[in-house]
Structure formats: C-alpha cells, structure tokens
C-alpha cells in the first residue's frame, strides 16, 4: 500500500514568535492533544442524550421489563462508558494505520451482510447479527467500512479523481454492491445513509460533479419509478403527505400512521417551552419504543422547541467542528476520513429529525448519542475517537 502522505511541516496560520501563546480556540488545545471543542461537544451531547434516554425510556421500560424502569439506561450507560474508553483509546492511535484495514474491513462487512441475510429475521427483517448477549447491525459496520475505503481510495487516487474510470466507477461499484446487500435485508434507511455518505465523500473527494449529478438524477428517477409507478412503499408516502388523514381513515391506516402521528402528537404537545423534563405523556405507551428512533419526539415534548433547538445547535456545532477537523487534517486520508465520519453523523441526525417531524417519510433512522443501542453507540464513539485522532495531527508541530 502506498503511503502518500507525509506530515505537514508547519501550521499554515502559525505566525513566527507566537508559538507559546495560544489564542481563541487554541486555548483548549494541548500540544498534540485532540480537539477539545469537538471532544467537549461530543461529551455534552452524549450526557444530554443519556439523560433524555433515561427520561424517554423509563416508562416504556417499566411496562415492558417487569417494572424495571432502568433496563435500557443501564445497558446504554455501560456501553457509553465503554465507548468513551474506546474513543479516548482510539484517539491515541495514529489513524494512518487504518489504511491497512480499508479493504479487509469492507470485505468483512460484505461477508457479514451476506451472513446476516441468512440469520433468522428479527421483526421480519434481517438486520441484526446476534452473538450471545451482543447484537449488532452489519450495516453499521458497512458504513464505517465504506467511509474508510472511500477515504483510502480518494487519498491514493486524489490526482485522478476527475477520471471516470478511477474517480467514479470504483466508488459506484463499491457503493452499489454494498447498498444492494443492505437493501435486501431490507434496510431502506441504511441504504439511504450509505448512498448519502458515499455521495458526500465522492463529491468532496473530487469526482466530477457532472457524473454525480447524472447519478443522482438517474437514482432519483429510478426511486420515483419504483415508488410511484410500481407502488412500492407507496403507503409510506401517503402517510407522509397527510398522516392524520391516514390515521383516522381506517384501522389499518391507524397502524400504518401510528408512529408518525404519535410523534407529531409528542412534538406538538411540547410547544415552545415543553412539558418539562420527565413529563412527557406520549412516552407512556403511546409512542412505540420511545427509546429508539423517535426519542427526539419525546425530547421535543419535554424540552419544547427551545430545548430541541439548543440540542440541534449542539449537533450543528459538532458537525461543523468535524468538517473543520477534516479540512485541517494533515493529509487527504485524514481529511476524507473525518469528513466522511462527520457526514455520517450529520446525515443521520438530519434524517432522523426530518423523519420525526414528518418532513420525510418514516424510515427507521436512529439519532446518534440519543437512541438506545449499545453496540451502535460503542461504534459511534470509536468513530469519534478516529476523528479525535485526526484532530491530534491537525496541529502537530515540528
């Protein structure tokens, strides 16, 4: 494997004679330390997310787990602690080592995607691999593998990214194959996320905009054809257009639109200032699985629009900081890795918020740092660790 990068000689904005003095954001940075802002934002969001999970899940947990209100939060806490440890640990690892894992991890994740198709379905879908007490989604692994592989490919091909055969075809092939494996689980939201991440990385990586635009048009056209002409998932679109009408139309419609409508009930009940932390009513067996994809509806109900907006603002800061680390990364690989991982978090947050507010049709996308899911959180924090590792090198000095 070709190592294209060398360490940068010096920070471009470094002025002679100011080495010892740190101003602005530099105040939070230790020498060779990671980006404290990014770390702090992560921890802040994680803590808020855990508090919200406790609030959102305790009632549901009480009813579903024989009176144990803390079933979900206990598990999530353990994974969060493990995740923080992993995050810090990973941040100490030089991310360049990941070059070596780029192709093998992709292959492994493909293998897992094939294996998961053969596992017994859970709730009619083949999304989880169960290993004893641990349960994880190969599509989560595939996301990271995709980011890693794309970062790797872009970093070694960055001069030839304008080429169709080098800068477009391999990416589309990998993306297409991975998506194909995920979509047959079936896992529509995972597929959309993979496509989004792939698209962002190819775009930033330098693929011709023309190719991308044509691909998006083609893909959009194909998707429209599948939905509107073949009628696949058309109910979701109907629910999306007028959830309450479907909800009140029939018993079947009620089931179909239940989650979306209950989410809107929760959000609307929050109003501007919210019912107060812990005071959600929708979490009491109205909103199904309030600890999962729709956790933010409960957050909206309890914290109100103001509270929700503050949390969204924290996410925006995190994403901005992630991209900023990517831009400041010492090399193409680190750059693409940070941008890809940040885009993954950002897209997931964005899609989740869009779904719970019914700005987009309902697909199961969890909210990073908030939604219940131990392995998922562990992986997310490890990925944040990778970004932190990259951030260590943005201000590495000679």
Partner 1 sequence: MTHGRQQDVSFQAPARHMWRRTLAVILLFALGFTGVSAQLLRVQVFEGAVWRRRAQEQQLSGQPVAAKRGAVYDRNGEVLARSVETATVLMRPAAIPDEESRRLIACQAAQLLGVDEAKVYARTGKTYSNCETVAARVDFDKADAFIRWLQTCSLPGVFRIVRDYRREYPGGSLLSCVLGFAGSDGSGLEGLEARYESTLAGKPGRVVLTQNGWGDALPQHLQYEDTIDAQEGNSLTLTIDANIQRMTEMYLDTAVRECGATGRGCAIVMDAGTGAVLAMAVKPDYDLNQPRELNDYGRRLLNAAAGGQDERLLAALQSQWKNKAVSEFYEPGSVFKSFTASMGLELGLVTETTPFYCRGYYSMPGAPLMKCHVYPRSHGSQTFAEAISHSCNPAFMTLGGMVGGENFSRFFEAFGFTERTGIDLLGEARVTPSLYHTAERITPLDVATSSIGQTFKVTPIQMITAMCALTDGGELLQPYVVQRVTAPDGSVVAEQGRTVRRRVVSQQTAQRMCALLEGVVDGGGVKNAYVAGYRVGGKTGTSVKTDSAVQADGRKNVVASFMGIAPADDPQAIVLVLIDEPQTAIRYGGTLAAPVAQQIFSQLLPYLGVEPRYTEKEQKQLARIVPDITGLTAAKAQQALEKQGLKLYLSGDGTSVLRQNPPAGEPIRTGGRVVAYTSAEPARTVTVPALIGGTLAAALSKAADAGLNLLIDGFEQDAGTAFIAAQSVPAGETVPLGTALTVRLLYKDSIE
Contacts to partner 1 by CB under 8 A = 4-6, 8-9, 12-13, 59, 63, 155, 158, 200, 203-206, 244, 264-272, 279, 281-282, 284-286, 300, 304-305, 308-309, 312, 315-316, 319-320, 323, 326-327, 329-333, 335, 339, 343, 346, 350, 353-354, 357-359
Q: How far is the CB of 238 from partner 1 (least distance, A)?
A: 18
Q: How far is the CB of 299 from partner 1 (least distance, A)?
A: 11
Q: How far is the CB of 8 from partner 1 (least distance, A)?
A: 5
Dist. CA 28–CA 7, nearest whole Å:
22
Identify whether the C-beta of residue 246 lies closer than 8 Å to the C-beta of residue 257.
yes
Dist. CA 359–CA 106, nearest whole Å:
33
**Cis link prior to 112 (omega < 30° from 0)?**
no
Q: Tell me phi and psi for residue 122, to 5 degrees.
A: -115, 125
Looking at beta carbons only, is 116 or 246 nearer to partner 1? 246
Dist. CA 116–CA 178, nearest whole Å:
13
SS3 of residue 234 by DSSP: helix
Looking at beta carbons only, is 137 or 207 nearer to partner 1? 207
Q: How far is the CB of 236 from partner 1 (least distance, A)?
A: 17
Looking at beta carbons only, is 62 or 101 nearer to partner 1? 62
Burial 53-92 (b: 16+ CB within 10 A, else e): bbbbbbbbbbeeeeeebebbbeebbebbebbbebbeebbe
Q: How far is the CB of 24 from partner 1 (least distance, A)?
A: 12
Looking at beta carbons only, is 32 or 248 nearer to partner 1? 248
Looking at beta carbons only, is 28 or 85 nearer to partner 1? 28
CB count in 10 Å sphere of residue 249: 14
Looking at beta carbons only, is 188 or 354 nearer to partner 1? 354
Identify whether the C-beta of residue 307 lies closer than 8 Å to the C-beta of residue 372.
no
Looking at beta carbons only, is 86 or 325 nearer to partner 1? 325
Q: How far is the CB of 115 from partner 1 (least distance, A)?
A: 33
Residues 6+ apart with CB under 8 A from 380: 83, 345, 368, 369
Packing angle, helices 374-394 and 71-92, rounded to 10:
30
Looking at beta carbons only, is 304 or 374 nearer to partner 1? 304
Q: How far is the CB of 348 from partner 1 (least distance, A)?
A: 12
Q: How far is the CB of 33 from partner 1 (least distance, A)?
A: 21
Burial 356-370 (b: 16+ CB within 10 A, else e): bbbebbbbbbbbbbb
Q: How far is the CB of 27 from partner 1 (least distance, A)?
A: 18
Identify whether the C-beta of residue 332 lies closer than 8 Å to the C-beta of residue 154.
yes
Looking at beta carbons only, is 220 or 268 nearer to partner 1? 268
Give me the half-sphere count of Cα atoms (radius 13 Å) on the Cβ side of residue 48. Answer: 20
């Amino acid at each position: 494997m070709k190592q294209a990068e060398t360490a940068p000689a010096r920070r471009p904005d470094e002025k002679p004679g100011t080495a010892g003095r740190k101003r602005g954001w530099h105040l939070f940075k230790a020498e060779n330390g990671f980006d404290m802002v990014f770390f702090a934002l992560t921890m802040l969001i994680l803590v808020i997310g855990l508090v919200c999970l406790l609030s959102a899940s305790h009632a549901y947990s009480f009813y579903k787990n024989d009176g144990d209100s803390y079933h979900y939060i206990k598990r999530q806490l353990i994974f969060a602690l493990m995740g923080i440890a992993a995050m810090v640990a990973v941040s100490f690892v030089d991310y360049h080592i990941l070059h070596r894992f780029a192709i093998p991890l992709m292959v492994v994740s493909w293998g897992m995607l094939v294996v998961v198709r053969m596992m017994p379905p859970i709730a009619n879908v083949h999304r989880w691999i169960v290993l004893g007490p641990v349960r994880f989604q190969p599509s989560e692994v595939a996301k990271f593998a995709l980011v890693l592989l794309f970062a790797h490919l872009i970093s070694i091909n960055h001069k030839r990214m304008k080429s169709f055969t080098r800068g477009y075809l391999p990416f589309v092939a990998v993306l297409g194959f991975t998506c194909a494996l995920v979509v047959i689980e079936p896992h529509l939201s995972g597929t959309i996320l993979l496509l989004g991440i792939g698209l962002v990385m190819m775009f930033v990586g330098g693929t011709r905009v023309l190719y991308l635009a044509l691909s998006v048009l083609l893909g959009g056209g194909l998707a429209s054809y599948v939905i509107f002409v073949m009628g696949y998932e058309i109910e979701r679109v109907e629910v999306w257009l007028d959830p309450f009408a479907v909800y009140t139309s029939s018993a079947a419609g009620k089931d179909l639109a239940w989650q979306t409508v209950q989410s809107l009930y929760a959000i609307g009940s929050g109003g501007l200032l919210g019912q107060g932390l812990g005071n959600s009513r929708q979490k009491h067996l109205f909103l199904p699985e309030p600890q999962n994809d729709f956790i933010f509806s409960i957050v909206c109900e309890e914290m109100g629009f103001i509270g929700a907006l503050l949390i969204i603002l924290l996410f925006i800061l995190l994403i901005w900081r992630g991209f900023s680390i990517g831009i400041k990364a010492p090399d193409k690989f680190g750059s693409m890795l940070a941008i890809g991982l940040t885009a993954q978090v950002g897209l997931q947050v964005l899609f989740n918020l869009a779904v719970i507010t019914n700005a987009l049709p309902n697909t199961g996308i969890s909210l990073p740092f908030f939604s219940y899911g131990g392995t998922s959180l562990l992986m997310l924090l490890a990925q944040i660790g990778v970004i932190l590792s990259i951030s260590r090198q943005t201000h590495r000095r000679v």
